[in-house]
Amino acid sequence: MSVVLGLILGSMFAFFNLVINMPVLAVFSSFLEERYFAVFTTNVTDELTLLLILGGMFLIVFSKDRLEEESDELSEKLFELRSKSMFKALYYNTIFLFFSIIFIYGQGFFWVMIFNLLSVFALYLIILGINKRVVTKI
């Protein structure tokens, strides 16, 4: 649900210029001038969007599957499958990040880093889904 709300909020921010202004405490800010531990009012729509999507993805990734509660043997196999899937997701994401560091610069790299916040979770879920299908066919 959190992911869906984040996507809706992000769409409203991108397509309808939704603005949610509120005071925030910034440990460091360098928008117009460098400030440390300052309170100021700013648009927090993009931060809320990322927090909702990231929190939702975290809950999806680390929640138990229905099958994990059925038997200890099945739970062990799923744990091993989850571990292998997480390793592969981190591996592929790191390769993507290496190439991004070498070939993408400026504002494009900023967007790659935003994408990188969520790509590990997304890759993990995709790889886990594929691995589950392969295991259930055997």
- Domain extents for the chain? 1-63, 65-138
Express each pLDDT in 20-70 by its tens digit: 999 999 898 887 788 888 888 889 999 999 999 999 999 999 888 776 666
Q: Decide if pLDDT at 89 tops 90.
A: yes
89: nearest Cα among 59, 135, 60, 127: 127
Confidence of residue 90 (pLDDT cuts 50, 70, 90): very high
SS (H, E, C) 13-71: HHHHCCCCEEEEEEEEECCCCCEEEEEEEEECHHHHHHHHHHHHHHHHHHCCCHHHHCC
Euclidean distance between CA atoms 75 and 94, whole angstroms? 28
pLDDT at 138: 57
- 9-to-23, 28, 61, 80, 113 alpha-carbon distances in Å: 19, 25, 21, 36, 20
User: Whole-number mean pLDDT of the chain?
Assistant: 89
pTM, entire model:
0.80
Euclidean distance between CA atoms 63 and 18, whole angstroms? 32
84: nearest Cα among 118, 124, 119, 121: 124
pLDDT at 68: 66
Task: Report, as an integer, the average pLDDT of 62-86.
Answer: 82
